[in-house]
Structure 1
């Protein structure tokens, strides 16, 4: 595990058990800056803490995952949001990506492996962005 990629994670899931599983897994990967929220509102109220990656449950009580996703993206389009859902639904996955999610993960036995794969994808994307002209990326992102 390369420690130069220390990300700040938010885990947003009203299922405390799931949130704990993700948090434990991230800890075993060597990450330390992890905050779990049991609802979307608390997550949105803490975006000023500038998380790099948010694992966001699609199905929550107080406010839907999509609403939270849209608000996160309006607040800061550079935050990587990974939608996590209990059901395998193509439309939900497509909508998540349409609204700006970086990826869509389905809850299941291999959810932690999938989370690990997504983090590796994000690391690769960030490396590519850093190699190419960072000025262009910033300008592109400011348009949206």
Structure 2
């Protein structure tokens, strides 16, 4: 049996119900390293815990999702950030990608499929990077 790539997930959403639903989805996909933050500042303060993938709500009370996204990317550009938004807005989607989000998802009934698809894409990207630059990645990791 192939071992599943384990990731450390952050879910950043001030809607506890939504956050719990996402956590349940990830549990169902057999991921168990999941931390929920109900605001952007708590997420930023805990980036030293080295999350691999962050599901980030765009519309939060304390600090706008884009601000959080920019700070995450400044802290570590290799964190995969998936922006989640309640409303479909092409400008928001374009901005999210411009600021470094890996993907943009609209809250809805198919979020589970989308999350699964995105994680599969991230695994593929990580594999390609590893195969394209095996020496480079090793050298890079030796720095840390």
TM-score (norm 1): 0.92
Q: Number of residues paired by the alignment?
A: 140
Residue equivalent to 2:57? 57
Evaluate the alpha carbon distance shift between residue 33 and residue 90 of structure 1 in structure 2; reply closer, same or farther with a 3 A threshold. same
The CA deviation at 1:138 is 8.9
Show structure 1 runs of 4+ deviating over 6 A: none
Deviation per CA, 1:38-97: give whole Å up to 9, x if none: 000000000000000000000000000000000000000000000000000000000000
RMSD: 1.9
SS in 2 for 1:81: strand
For residues 44 and 93 of structure 1, the distance between their equivalents in structure 2, rounded to whole angstroms, comes to 21
Conserved? CA contact 2:130–2:137, under 8 Å:
no
1:30-109 equivalence runs, <5 A: 30-109=30-109
Give ranges in structure 1 of 5+ residues lacking alignment: 140-144
Give ranges in structure 2 of 5+ residues lacking alignment: 140-144
Conserved? CA contact 2:7–2:52, under 8 Å:
yes
